[in-house]
C-alpha cells in the first residue's frame, strides 16, 4: 500500500525490495501533469490521448483480443474515448502529440 499511496500522491513509483520483478523506479503522469511538463519544456499544449482507454479492464480481454471481430470492437471503443478527458486517466499509457513551431 505504501507504493500505491506514493504513486497516487506524487507520481513516483519506487519498487519495493520484496518485489524485484516490479517495474523499476519510474514516474507517472496525470493528463494535466503531462500537458504541464510539455509546456514547461517550451512546447505548445499537446493533444493527450489514452492509448488503451478503458478496454484493457474488460472481462476476458485476452480471449477477446485474439478474435478479429472482438479486437475491432475494442479498438473502436478505445478510439471513441481516447481524448475524452474523464476517461484518459483510465488508460495505463498516455500519448502526448504536439508540434513545435
Q: Which of 91, 92, 97 is nearest to 23 (CA)?
A: 92
Do the Cβ atoms of 28 and 13 come closer than 8 Å? Answer: yes
Place of cell 482507454: 53
Q: Which residues of the chain have pLDDT under 50?
A: none
Cα distances (angstroms) measured from residue 75 to each of 20, 59, 86, 97: 33, 15, 18, 19
The confidence score (pLDDT) of residue 58 equals 92
pLDDT digits (tens, 9 = 90+) for 15-42: 888 888 888 888 888 899 999 999 998 8
Residues in the chain: 101
Stated pTM of the model: 0.75
End-to-end CA gap in the chain: 43
Amino acid at each position: 500500500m505504501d507504493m500505491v499511496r506514493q504513486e497516487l500522491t506524487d507520481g513516483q513509483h519506487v519498487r519495493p525490495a520484496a518485489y524485484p520483478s516490479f517495474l523499476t523506479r519510474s514516474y507517472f503522469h496525470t493528463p494535466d501533469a503531462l500537458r504541464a511538463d510539455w509546456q514547461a519544456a517550451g512546447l505548445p499544449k499537446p493533444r493527450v490521448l489514452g492509448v488503451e482507454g478503458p478496454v484493457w479492464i474488460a472481462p476476458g480481454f485476452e480471449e477477446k483480443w485474439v478474435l478479429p471481430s472482438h479486437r475491432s470492437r475494442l479498438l473502436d471503443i478505445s478510439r471513441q474515448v481516447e481524448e475524452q478527458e474523464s476517461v484518459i486517466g483510465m488508460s495505463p499509457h498516455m500519448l502526448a502529440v504536439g508540434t513545435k513551431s
